[in-house]
Chain A
């Protein structure tokens, strides 16, 4: 009896499946023959999608610059160490601002992780002896910036050449330090830019650099070497300054447009 019931049930299920497949097939055939209807119903007509308001461009690849250099602002006063360890010898201290009231920036030379997993950054320093470098914790630094410019000062040829991506974009005659107050040689960087000040001696614009005079150490402000204009252009080119690099005013104004703060400076 039970077997008979099972067979009857199986037959009913099979018949049901066959019927369902038949109905589905008929509906599919019907829909193919009349695209606008489905099983006797009218298919909804959707409005066209709106055109996006933004024209999204292709992915923008990063410009890889040949002469790329990186600077960082000093976030808070910090001790600079001789190596990337918190117990290493203190080389100097860095303030967060310059004597001119701008953010103190340093040129980034490298990075390393100490045993505790703390990130350290090797930076070029605006201290004597010129060319000094040291290590600071990454947390003491702030914003990173990049430049693709490089200023080369030729003390023999008395010229300044600004490179962008290692190609010269500006060349100008300069005045440099007298023999008793020589302009220091070495690798430096531009720390800040001063404009609209009241001293005609410096021309209309002055860049501060990380270079310092070895001869005028007691100069107000620390004896920093500047790159600036002049009120005596007839002296250029020549060895006429206290160590600073002087340019004609039209040239320093051009440099002001082309050379960002953070630019490396080579004096040779």
Chain B
């Protein structure tokens, strides 16, 4: 179970771009669409205890984390709303969704105008099927914990690091719970490995849950009967 892939995750490249930013292979367009960039962008990040604006790399890491939290919170929220997942899993989306939404709120508050926008998601039925839901939940929580872990050492602000660790341990608890429900040893190894960016990139490349937002508005002349 530990080698689960997410299946489908990132179609329009939102997560890939966040990954690229974190890995230092910055795309000029990353953050540019959602925010203004430069000093104004950094100043928009809530100042840590030291009262200074966060480092650019910290902003990128937080946005990377936010993108993953968007993914997790949307997954559990949709599952809870649809109500198709039941049995012993019934309380999982309610409980985990509430926590992941809190993570999103915290990260968005911290990033302010620098926060990346919430992507659209097409979960392709995994929120409507017990077995697929659980498999995806294990993969999401494992990925979340591993992604936070891999970036922790790169966070420059001690205050942001403290916050990231407080989220990371919750993700690890979630991962253990989901693994237990899936019949997989929650913690088989003595030491956890973080997922390096290249590995996250590989997972992202194989996925399609993040999709383009449906176009609901148009400027075309109406042809309704009038």
Contacts and interface: CB of A to CB of B under 8 A. Distances in A.
Interface residues of A, number: 66
A192 B223 CA distance: 13
B125 A53 contact: no
Contacts of A226: 222, 224-226
Nearest to B129: A119
B34 interface: no
Interface string A110-134: 0101000001000000000000000
Contacts, number: 178
Nearest to A245: B224
A73 B214 CA distance: 7
B48 A53 contact: yes
Interface stretch (A4-12, A34-42, A54-62, A82-90): A54-62
A75 interface: yes
B32 interface: no
A55 B109 contact: yes
Counting chain A CB atoms within 10 Å of each CB, which of B109, B129, B214 scores highest?
B214
B214 A105 contact: yes
Contacts of A165: none
B107 A243 contact: no
Nearest to A192: B216
B52 to A, nearest CB: 11
A196 B97 CA distance: 38
Q: Bin the interface of chain B by size.
A: 35 or more
A41 B166 CA distance: 33
Interface stretch (A19-27, A152-160, A166-174, A214-222): A214-222
Contacts of B20: none
Interface stretch (B78-86, B134-142, B183-191): B78-86
B89 interface: no
Given A53-B157, A103-B215, A111 B80 contact: no
A94 interface: no
A222 B146 CA distance: 52
A8 to B, nearest CB: 42
Contacts of A50: 48-49, 158-159, 161-162
Interface in B158-175: 158-163, 166-167
A92 interface: no
B110 to A, nearest CB: 5
A102 B103 CA distance: 33
B37 to A, nearest CB: 21
B152 to A, nearest CB: 13
Contacts of B129: 113, 119
Contacts of B128: 111, 119, 138
